[in-house]
Chain A
C-alpha cells in the first residue's frame, strides 16, 4: 500500500469514526434526557423515511446545504479562509426577492433566470472585498469577512425594510414573489422543486471547474503552495479573486434559489447561519465537490430526523447541533489517529523493505 492510499484509507476511517462517535454521543444524551428513549431514537433514525412528505423535507433541507457546501469548497480552495458564504447566502435571497418583485417588465421563468443572474453577479462582487484588502494590504481576511457579513446584512435589511416590506400583509415579510416565477414541483405533495436538479448540476459544474479546467487547477495549486504558484507564473491575485467571486456567487445562488418556490415571501430578519453550516458540509466532504452531495444529505438527514424527534418525543431538536459539533471536531482534528497512522505507515514500509 502506498502512502497516498494509506492516507486515503485513514481519511475515510477518520470520517467514519467521527460520525460514529457523534452518533454514540447523541444516543447517550437521548438515553439520559428522554423518558421514552426508544421511541425518540426511532423517530430520529427512521422518522425521515416514514412518509413522502418527510422524505420531501429531507431533500428540501439538503438542497441549500449543497450550495453553501460547494461555496465553501471554492472559497477555501486558495487556502485563504473567509466567511463570505454567510453574508452572500443572505444577500442572494434578498437580491432574488428584490429582482423578482421589482422587475415588472419580465414575466414567468425568464424573470427567474434574470433574477438569478443578477444574484450571481451581485453576490460574487460582494464577496470580493475581504480578499482584495487581504491581497493588497495583508489584512486578516477572516476577520474582515466576518465584519463585512454584518455590513451586508444591514445593507440588506435596509433594502428589505424600505423597499420590500409588505405592511398590509398579516404575515411579516416582503411582498409575495410572483407565482409564475416559481420553479416547477418535482414530487407532488412536497416542496421539492427543480432546484434539486439545478443543485445536482451545480455539483458537477463545480467539480468540472475545479478539476478539469486551467482556472480550477490554478486555484488548487495556489491553495497547495502559493509560492510555487507564483514561481510558475500564475497570477495569484487574479486566481484568489476568481475563487472568491465564484464561491460567493454559488453561496448567493443557493440563497436566491430558496426564494423561488419554497418561500412565497422574503422573511429573513437576521443572518441565516447557513455560511457556518456550509463550513460543516465542506469539512465533512473533505473540501471535495464530488463528496458534497453525501455530506449535505447526511446533515440534511440528521436535521430532519431531529426535527421529527422534537415533534414526536421529549428530546429537543438542538441535539443535532451537538452531533454536528462532535463530528466536525474529530474530522478536523489532524492529530486524531495520527499516531496510529504513523505506526501503520512504518509497519508497511518495513514490510516493503524486507520484500525488496
Chain B
C-alpha cells in the first residue's frame, strides 16, 4: 500500500500546489489571449525567456527587484511582439507562434552561452531567488498549515492572480472590451473600439502572466536556469485554459488537475510504476472536456434554430 500512503498526505497536497503554480500562470496567460481571439502558443517560450532574463539580471546586478521587473518586461514585449506580427503584419497565428518559439529556443541557448559559457544551465553563476512565505496564523493549524503555509511567494501570487483576472475580465471595462473583441471584432469596431489596440494589450497581459510562470521556475521553484526547463508547461496552460472554458476559476481547477496528475506520476515513478498512463490522463481528460463542451454548445445552437423555425411556421400557419 506504499502508493496510497504516499498520496494521502499533507505533503502530497503541498506538492500538487507547488507543481500547479506555473500551470496556473500559463493558463491565465492563455485565457486572456484566447478571450481576445488569439490562441497564444508562444507562452512556453515566453516563460523560458523570462526565466532566463530573471536569472541573468539577478546574477549580474544583484538586485532581485530589477530581475523581476526585467523578466516581466521581457514577457510583455514578447506578447506584444507576437501581436505585432499576427495582427499588424497579418501573419497566420500558428506561423507566428512557430517562428517565435523557434527563435526563443535558439536565442535562449545563445544568450546563456554568451553570458555563462555553458549551453545547458546557469549553474556557473549565482542567481537570486524569491523566498518562501510562512503564513503567521495558518501555519500553526495541524494539517492545513502544512498544506497552505511555506509556499513560495509566487504560488500565493498565482492564486491571487486568479481573482485579479476574474475581476479584470468580468468587472472592469478593459475585460469587457477584450471579451467583445474576441467574440466579434467587427462588432466591437462598429461601436468605436480599436480591436488592434485591445488585442495588443491582451497579448501584453498574456506575456506578463507567462513571465511570472517562467520566473517561478527559475527563481522560486529552483534557483537556476536550465534550458528546456519549462518542458511544455506553456502548452499545458493552453490545454488547461481550453478545459476551463475561458473562466479563470475553471482554468485554475484544470491546472490543479494537471498538477495532480503530475504529482501522482512522480509518486508512481518512485514506486516503479509506468508513469506514461498517468501522465496521459490530463490530456485525455481535457480532450474529452473540450469535445463535450463544444458538442453541448452545438446542440444548444441547433435547438435554438429549430425553435425559431417552429415559431416562424406557427406564425405563418396563423
Q: Taking beta carbons and an 8 Å cutoff, which residues of A are in contact with B?
A: 29, 33, 81, 133, 136-140, 142-144, 146-148, 150-151, 154-155, 157-158, 161-162, 276, 279-280, 283, 316, 318-322, 324-326, 328-329, 332-336, 338
Contacts and interface: CB of A to CB of B under 8 A. Distances in A.
Contacts of A325: 99-100, 102-103, 106
Interface in B230-272: 232, 235, 238-239, 242
Contact of A316 (B119, B239, B279, B297): B119
B238 A146 contact: yes
B295 A137 contact: yes
A60 B102 CA distance: 21
Contact of B95 (A140, A157, A158, A279): A279
B102 A276 contact: yes
Interface in B199-251: 232, 235, 238-239, 242
B89 A333 contact: yes
A319 B119 CA distance: 13
Interface string B94-123: 111011111101110110011000010000
Contact of A158 (B85, B99, B119, B276): B276
Interface stretch (B58-66, B72-80, B163-171, B280-288): B280-288
Contact of B291 (A133, A161, A328): A133
B277 A158 contact: yes
A159 to B, nearest CB: 9
14 contacts: A142-B94, A143-B238, A151-B283, A157-B276, A279-B95, A280-B102, A316-B109, A318-B107, A325-B102, A326-B103, A328-B99, A332-B91, A332-B95, A333-B90
Given A143-B39, A148-B283, A333-B90, A324 B102 contact: yes
User: What 4 A-B pairs are tightest by C-beta distance, nearest first?
Assistant: A321-B106, A325-B103, A154-B280, A332-B95
A333 B85 contact: yes
B9 interface: no
A320 B106 contact: yes
A335 B86 CA distance: 10
Contact of B276 (A155, A279, A333, A336): A155
A319 B113 CA distance: 12
A29 B89 contact: no
Contacts of A137: 291, 294-295, 298
A325 B235 CA distance: 19
B290 interface: yes
Contacts of A150: 232, 235, 280, 283
Contacts of B274: 158, 161-162
Nearest to A322: B106
Contacts of A321: 102-103, 105-107
B235 A144 contact: no
